[in-house]
Amino acid sequence: MPIRLSADDKNKAVPDLSRVEYMNGVSNFQRLFREKVSNQPMGSKILVPWDIFKAHVIQRLKDLHISSEKAVIAFFIGLDADLKVKTGLSVFGVENDIVEGVDNNILIPSNGQRIEPQFEFEEISTMVNYNGASERTHAISASTSPWKYASDYFSIVQRHRAPINPATPNFQDVHPHEDARIVLFPWEKEVVALERANPLIGKRPYLIISDYTSFVINGATRVRVNGANGYYHSKAMHIGGLDNLNSLTDELNVGSAVVLTYFQGRAIDYGNLCPPLCDHVRF
């Protein structure tokens, strides 16, 4: 099945989030996902300078001869040895439908080369003050064992299945053919648009990537609904600003603040979860 870039009707599937919606989705993830060794809740954030992330993507586009408008960012979901969510990264292009989702929704280009998490986000020693705590920031490094983290993830992680009732826990193992393995975002239409809508003066922009869950995706209708399968592991992204006092602040509007520009003061979510949505990259 070919993968296509397509525009959604914004009235039906708005891909951005207010501060409240974003915080609820992050809280949902911590409540509804756990690793079964210690039954501890899960959830992580990636703090990466925007200029470093953008330079990496642009260089990959040049190396692969991909136009910015056709570029897709793929986040691969995994788990590291410390039982923390580990996120892999790949950049590819959707050009004349040459990328196909086959082999149980593993992405394979038409030349037969499987799309893998070629890079990963790695914690480094540089610290910032974020939400009242000292947090490590992240760099992008080459991935040495692309699928190890995914294997560990599907061996250890459980998610809450519906009905969502704290009084009657219903945690079950995640499954590689049912639960999300990859989250896809169109580069130009969402990720770059997010940064452009949030210009910062006197601060260094950071891309903040969070584990997040809010909606079930109906594979047949491609509509976000709450249903019997519970919630899927997704990613949400927003912009933060680092000031000269080394304090990183979320650039998210409070409540129902008026949005003058699409994505202004907002986070982006949804993207495309693969599975179940491996044939469309929507924006």
- DSSP states of 84-109 as a string? -EEEEEEEEE-STT-EEEETTTEEEE
Strands 4-6 and 280-282, by their bridges, are parallel
Q: Mean pLDDT across the stretch 153-171?
A: 77
Q: Which residues pair with 45 in a beta bridge?
A: 210
Q: Which residues pair with 193 in a beta bridge?
A: none
User: What gap in Å lies between CA 272 and CA 38, rounded to an integer?
Assistant: 30
Peptide bond into 41 cis (omega under 30): no
Global confidence as pTM:
0.85
- Is 49 in contact with 155 (CB distance < 8 Å)? no
Q: Residue 32 pLDDT more than 70?
A: yes
Strands 85-93 and 119-130, by their bridges, are antiparallel
Highest mean pLDDT among 26-30, 197-201, 203-207: 203-207
pLDDT tens profile 119-155: 999 999 999 999 999 999 999 999 877 677 888 898 9
Q: Hey, how many other C-beta atoms are within 10 angstroms of the C-beta on 60?
A: 19
pLDDT tens profile 177-203: 778 888 888 898 889 999 999 999 999
- Is 4 in contact with 94 (CB distance < 8 Å)? yes
pLDDT of res. 278: 65
Tokens of 249: 């602040």
Question: Would you give the distance in Å from CA 220 to the centre of its chain?
Answer: 22
Q: Report the phi/psi class of residue 202: left, alpha or beta, with left for phi > 0 and alpha for psi in -120 to 50.
A: left
